[in-house]
Amino acid sequence: MSNTYFQFKQFTVHQEHTAMKVCTDACLFGAWLANDENINTASTLLDIGTGTGLLSLMVAQSKFSNNNSHATITAVEIETAAAKEAQNNINASPWSNQIELVHSSIQDYTLKKFDCIFTNPPFYEGDLKSPNEAINVASHSMALPWTELMEVVADLLNPNGYYYVLVPALRAYTMQKLAEQNGLRLIDEVLVHNAAKQKPFRAIHKYSKSASPTAVIKRANFIIKEEGNNYTDHFTKLLAPYYLHL
């Protein structure tokens, strides 16, 4: 039987009761976020659909090790079991005083604005549903369609704020168009490949609320594994602060 938890170097993610488990692309996204300059200087951050709390915990490890003690991360989760498990993971971490778990739909959250917002949102619109309702909420855009997500992000983001999102590569353009319709400009895109000869399967996007429509978009490719199925040096360097065996 596989473990019901994922052990990182500085924290543990229990995931027995959470539909969406820890996965490589989410960990890559979390480590990429934690290395972003604007994330590390932001005072208020929002994690939409936190699930196990993974992204908030990865960002917290980097951010608060630099004594940025006045910053706060708000982690919002609609699904009851996931919210409870995320709260337990946060409570057991070194950053329990700096991450606030909110059990709510993001559409109902209106308490404050944020410098940075990040999310690994539901991917699927019309695909075959699972008999597990928690999985449907976590992976299908039923509770949070992308059109509503972008409206909420635009409303909750400060005028000079940044929005970060992980999406399937085939749907990256859809996210970009929805963001532009809500006044957000793509400024950074990383296409993620499992291997060099494979097509990208995920895209990491960074948007700005204040960037010029003519701003040049920074584009890059990220390869997870090299020949022989070993992690690339790039992946190893990025994830070494988190993965136990790197």
Q: Please write the tens of the pLDDT for every residue from 129-156.
A: 434 444 434 333 455 789 999 999 999 9
**CB atoms near residue 125 (< 10 Å):** 12
Number of residues written out for the chain = 246
* Residues 6 or more apart whose Cβ sits within 8 Å of residue 122: 49, 137, 138, 139, 140, 141, 142, 143, 144
Residues of the chain with pLDDT under 50: 1, 125-141
pLDDT, residue 143, reads 57
Q: Coil, strand, or helix at residue 113? A: coil
- Beta-carbon contacts of 152 under 8 Å, excluding residues fewer than 6 positions away, are 48, 106, 107, 109
What pLDDT score was predicted for residue 15?
87
CA–CA distance, 55 with 194 (Å, rounded to integer): 20
Q: Quickly tell me which residue has 């473990």 as its tokens.
A: 3
Q: For 67-99, what is each residue's pLDDT tens digit?
A: 667 899 999 999 999 999 999 999 999 999 999
What's the confidence (pLDDT) of residue 2?
58
- Fold of the domain spanning 6-184: Rossmann fold (3.40.50)
In the chain, where are the structural domains located? 6-184
- Contacting residues for 156 by C-beta, under 8 A, at least 6 apart: 46, 109, 112, 113, 114, 117
User: What is the pLDDT at residue 130?
Assistant: 38
pTM higher than 0.85: yes
Residues 150, 174: Cα–Cα separation, whole Å:
11
CB 239 within 8 A of CB 28: yes
CA-CA distance, 31 to 242, in Å (whole number)?
8
pLDDT confidence of residue 186: 97
pLDDT for 9: 97
Question: So what's the pLDDT on residue 156?
Answer: 97
The pair of three-digit structure tokens given for residue 90, joined into one six-digit string? 């946060």
* pLDDT reported for residue 217: 95
